[in-house]
């Protein structure tokens, strides 16, 4: 049976001494698994818990202590001009030795150490090095490292990896319960958590901060002021970035805060002394690529009110000029592209305020007031916004997550809430919403309801009530159509879909009354009887220019689905299999010729020429013969012939139509009568101030207010004072 003494002899001869020799010769240490396992097996075979465990634990301690005192300390404590290099060599040699010793003695960690509450093998060796080797050289080593950090600032390539390792040893040396391990790169490292940083703070951080003050002072004064404030800021930011890189590469992350604080003090002092001598112009700082730099810049000068005022002034100039440029460019763009670009810029402005200026209330207020000013600089922007929202809700939001959808709608409603002519926006929005609901071209009803809800929260109920009525009508129509289909007793291959639009709740619609073909008229008549039976006393006016019809072809080589308006279907129904004149279509349909021509044009499109005519081009003669193209072919199986109206914004002078002008007049008159009645007697100045304050959805024009006052006087609702022309009285009924 093997004894403890024999095991110790084998460990010394086959593991410990060979490792010592290789380390002393600076050779790569490699011990085979068989040799390590032999030592472990011998230790295990002689292990009887306390007695032999205690002997082996003491032997490990003596072995590590002997190596430290015989092989490490003599080298580490000898006089040298390169304490840095010497320390790294001895530190690595000691870690190497401890790593292999831990492997050879690791059987002790399976029971003995935990059972008897002994320090781990790693911690025993670690504590020994800290007390006998590190403490004696810490001051000298720290001073050398500070000098090297100063050299590193001038040349960041100087032994950066070795320098980082040496500095990190001041943190490692205070690890609580350290463990020595080999990482994936084959490097032997201490692992643990430093609960205190007294060694690092005493010998690295504090001396570095003290000596950095002079360095920062010189650096701040040497910033290149001759190339202007932007150059100064750029140089300042580079200085901050270089210190951040210094900390990231070499130091503990906690050092960055006091280091930056010291640097800020020197830069702010220098800037206060000299910035007023130079012309300030740093608009380029507000570009996306410079946001990180601008953020750093502002955070460094945040506490200085003079600097804050300078930032506010420059941001105001930047936002206004860039916004006006985008709006001006919008004259040559489609409305949706103009608003899309403007919203993108507002998002950029929000990013600047949030990321660079920490959502400071002064910067937020500045952004909002500047954006509002620009939004209302163009009379047609309200219409452009309505057209953009239509495109957005028709499909651009498809595929967006719920969170992204909410964000897009929030951006749009924020924009709308800043428009002074909100009633103009909502008048156009209502028309476009009606088209989406009638033609089923919207992305979803949920999206429509979501944006209306946001409009209501930001713009009030007066402008959104009609929109909710329209959505409600569509829901009611679905239920009504379901009941109608359930009531039918015969099966038809004609799918009939109806939407009931409540009169007064929808934008005004033109009434066109063509002569309807029998196949449609039967269904119209049937549904009308059904509806009147449910809603006695009501009347249905059919709007044939709205909606759509889907027709499947049976006369061509393959089947196509043709999508068209009801008017287009009525026109096609009256073209016979041979040839039909335009004048005959007019007779059959009872539609005006210009109206027929407009709805026929899409059928003559060269790409999808479903119809043929005698002449070339877009013009159609009244006696010109029209016939079906029996050779029609297309790669598409579904073809849409509905004519989409062009969405060009009218000239600013024509933006506000007669209906909207009438609504504005009603609102102005209501405000005037209400205020004069409440006061009984008011002067003209107070009346104007009240009207301007109460009218939130458009900007009342002086001429419109004057006309409303004159009209109310003419109708006997208010009167002028006989003695003072600027005084108004309420007329009692």
pLDDT digits (tens, 9 = 90+) for 236-268: 777 878 888 899 988 988 898 899 888 877 766
Tell me the C-alpha distance between 223 and 269, whole Å: 13
**pLDDT at residue 562, as a whole number:** 93
- Bridging pattern class, strands 561-564 and 638-640: parallel
CB 245 within 8 A of CB 152: no
Sign of CA dihedral 254, 256, 261, 262: positive
> Which is more confidently placed, 281 or 611?
611
Which pLDDT belongs to residue 285? Answer: 62
Distances (CA, A) of 604 to 576, 619, 625: 17, 10, 13
Helix, strand, coil shares of the chain as percentages rounded to 5? 65, 5, 30
How far are the Cα atoms of 560, 561, 609 from residue 638, in angstroms, in the given order? Answer: 6, 5, 14
Task: Please check the confidence at residue 575 and state whether its pLDDT lies above 90.
Answer: no
Residue 306: what pLDDT? 57
Least confident piece of the model among 113-117, 237-241, 589-593: 237-241
Task: Report pLDDT for 228.
Answer: 45
If pLDDT is split at 50, 70 and 90, which confidence band does 651 have?
Answer: very low
User: Is residue 316 pLDDT above 90, yes or no?
Assistant: no
Task: Return the pLDDT at 648.
Answer: 42
CA distances for 338 relative to 344, 384, 405, 584, angstroms:
10, 8, 20, 45
Determine how β-strand 561-564 pairs with β-strand 611-613. unpaired
**How confident is the model over 415-445, as pLDDT tens digits?**
888 888 888 888 888 888 888 888 888 878 8
Q: Pick the range with the lowest mean pLDDT from 115-119, 391-395, 559-563.
A: 391-395
Q: 666: pLDDT confidence band, cut at 50, 70 and 90?
A: confident
pLDDT value at 88 more than 70:
yes
| Residue 471 neighbours by CB under 8 Å, 6+ apart | 437, 445, 448, 449, 452
What's the mean per-residue pLDDT of the chain? 83
Question: H/E element holding 729?
Answer: strand 727-730
Cβ neighbours of residue 214 closer than 8 Å, sequence gap 6 or more: none
Separation CA 170–CA 547 (nearest Å) = 78
The reported pLDDT for the residue numbered 649 is 39
Side-chain-facing half-sphere of 370: CA atoms under 13 Å: 24
pTM: 0.56
Confidence of residue 313 (pLDDT cuts 50, 70, 90): low
More confident residue, 92 or 646: 92
Contact between residue 183 and residue 189 where contact means Cβ atoms under 8 Å apart: yes
Residue 435 confidence (pLDDT): 85
Q: Are 709 and 728 in contact (CB under 8 A)?
A: yes
With a cut of 50, say whether residue 12 has pLDDT above it.
Answer: yes
- Distance CA(79)–CA(237), nearest Å, equals 42
pLDDT bucket at 205, cuts 50 / 70 / 90: very high
Condensed to tens digits (0 to 9), the pLDDT of residues 49-84 reads: 678 888 889 999 999 999 999 999 998 888 888 888
Query: Would you list the DSSP string of 539-586?
Result: -----TTSS-EEEE--SSSS--EEEE-HHHHHHHHTS-SS-EEHHHHH
Give me the pLDDT at residue 282, please: 45
- Per-residue pLDDT band for 209 (boundaries 50, 70, 90) equals very high
Q: State yes or no: pLDDT of 560 exceeds 90.
A: yes
Spatial distance between the Cα atoms of 711 and 715, rounded to a whole number of angstroms: 6
Q: Where are the alpha helices (DSSP H) in 330-464?
A: 335-351, 361-375, 381-391, 402-417, 422-439, 445-459
CA 115 from chain centre, in angstroms, equals 56
Beta partners for residue 627, in sequence order: 612
Model confidence at 289, pLDDT cuts 50, 70, 90, reads: confident
Mean local confidence (pLDDT), 228-235: 59
Q: What is the mean pLDDT of residues 317-335?
A: 77
Neighbours of 541 (CB within 10 A): 9
Q: Tell me: the pLDDT tens digits for 454-467?
A: 989 988 888 888 88
Q: How confident is the model at residue 283 (pLDDT cuts 50, 70, 90)?
A: low
Give whichever of 143-152, 443-452, 619-628 has the largest mean pLDDT: 143-152
pLDDT band, residue 275 (cuts 50/70/90): very low
Nearest residue to 46 via CA among 89, 5, 102: 5
Report CA torsion sign: 533, 535, 537, 539: negative
Rounded to whole angstroms, the Cα distance separating 475 from 448 reads: 13
Q: Which pLDDT score is estimated for 63?
A: 93
What's residue 639's pLDDT? 92
CA 468 to each of CA 49, 417, 535, 733: distance values in angstroms, whole numbers, following the listed order = 83, 18, 22, 36
% the chain with pLDDT above 90 = 10
DSSP letter assigned to residue 276: G
Question: For the residues 200-217, what does the mean pLDDT come to?
Answer: 90
């Amino acid at each position: 049976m093997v004894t403890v003494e024999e095991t110790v002899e084998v460990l010394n001869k086959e593991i410990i001494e060979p490792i010592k020799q290789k380390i002393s010769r600076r050779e790569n240490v490699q011990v085979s698994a068989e040799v390590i396992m032999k030592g472990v097996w011998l230790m295990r075979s002689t292990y009887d818990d306390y007695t032999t465990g205690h002997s082996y634990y003491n032997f490990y301690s003596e072995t590590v202590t002997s190596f430290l005192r015989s092989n490490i300390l003599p080298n580490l404590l000898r006089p040298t001009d390169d304490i840095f290099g010497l320390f790294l060599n001895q530190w690595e040699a000691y870690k190497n030795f401890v790593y292999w010793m831990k492997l050879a003695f690791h059987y002790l960690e399976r029971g003995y150490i935990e059972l008897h509450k002994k320090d781990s093998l790693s911690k025993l060796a670690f504590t020994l090095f800290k007390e006998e080797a590190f403490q004696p050289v810490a001051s000298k080593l720290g001073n050398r490292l500070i000098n090297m950090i100063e050299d590193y600032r001038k040349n960041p390539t100087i032994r950066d990896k070795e320098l980082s390792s040496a500095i990190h040893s001041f943190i490692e040396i205070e690890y609580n319960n350290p463990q020595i391990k080999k990482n994936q790169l084959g490097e032997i490292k201490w692992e643990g958590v430093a609960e205190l940083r007294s060694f690092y703070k005493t010998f690295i951080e504090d001396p570095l901060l003290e000596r950095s003050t002079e360095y920062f002072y010189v650096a701040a004064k040497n910033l290149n002021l001759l190339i202007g404030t932007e150059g100064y800021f750029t140089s300042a930011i580079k200085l901050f970035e270089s210190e951040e890189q210094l900390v990231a590469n070499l130091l503990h992350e906690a050092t960055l805060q006091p280091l930056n604080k010291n640097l800020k003090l020197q830069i702010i002092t220098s800037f206060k002394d000299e910035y007023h001598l130079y012309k300030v112009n740093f608009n380029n700082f507000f570009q996306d690529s410079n946001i990180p730099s601008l953020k750093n810049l502002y955070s460094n000068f945040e506490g200085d009110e003079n600097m804050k005022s300078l930032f506010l002034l420059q941001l105001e100039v930047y936002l206004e000029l860039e916004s006006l440029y985008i709006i001006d460019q919008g004259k040559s763009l489609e409305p949706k592209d103009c608003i899309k670009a403007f919203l993108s810029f507002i998002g950029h402005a929000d990013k600047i305020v949030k990321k660079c200026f920490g959502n400071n209330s002064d910067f937020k207020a500045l952004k909002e007031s500047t954006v509002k000013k620009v939004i209302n600089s163009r009379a047609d922007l309200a219409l452009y916004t309505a057209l953009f929202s239509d495109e957005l809700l028709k499909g651009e939001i498809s595929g967006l997550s719920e969170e992204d959808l909410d964000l897009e709608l929030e951006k749009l409603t924020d924009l709308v809430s800043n428009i002074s002519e909100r009633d103009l926006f909502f008048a156009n929005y209502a028309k476009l919403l009606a088209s989406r609901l009638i033609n089923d071209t919207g992305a979803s009803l949920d999206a429509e309801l979501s944006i209306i809800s946001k409009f209501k929260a930001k713009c009030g109920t007066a402008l959104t009530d009609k929109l909710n009525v329209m959505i409600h009508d569509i829901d009611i129509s679905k239920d009504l159509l379901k009941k109608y289909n359930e009531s039918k007793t015969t099966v038809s291959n004609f799918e009939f879909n109806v939407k009931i639009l409540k009169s007064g709740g929808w934008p005004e619609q033109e009434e066109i009354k063509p002569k309807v073909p029998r196949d449609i008229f039967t269904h119209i008549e049937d549904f009308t009887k059904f509806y009147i039976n449910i809603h006695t006393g009501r009347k249905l006016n059919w709007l044939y220019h709205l909606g759509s019809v889907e027709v499947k072809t049976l006369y061509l080589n393959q089947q196509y689905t043709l999508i068209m308006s009801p008017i287009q279907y009525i026109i096609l129904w009256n073209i016979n299999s041979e040839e039909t004149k335009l004048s005959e279509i007019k007779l059959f349909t009872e539609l005006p010729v210009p109206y027929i021509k407009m709805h026929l044009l899409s059928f003559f499109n060269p790409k999808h020429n479903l119809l043929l005519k005698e002449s070339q081009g877009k013009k159609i003669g009244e006696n010109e013969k029209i016939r079906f193209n029996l050779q029609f072919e297309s790669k598409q199986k579904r073809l849409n012939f509905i004519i989409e109206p062009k969405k060009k914004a009218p000239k600013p002078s024509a933006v506000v139509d007669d209906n909207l002008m009438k609504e504005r007049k009603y609102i102005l008159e209501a405000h005037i009568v209400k205020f004069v009645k409440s006061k009984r007697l008011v002067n003209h100045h107070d009346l104007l101030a009240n009207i301007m304050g109460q009218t939130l959805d458009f900007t009342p024009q002086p001429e419109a207010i004057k006309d409303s006052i004159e009209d109310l006087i003419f109708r006997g609702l208010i009167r002028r004072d006989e003695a003072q022309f600027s005084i108004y009285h309420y007329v009692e009924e």
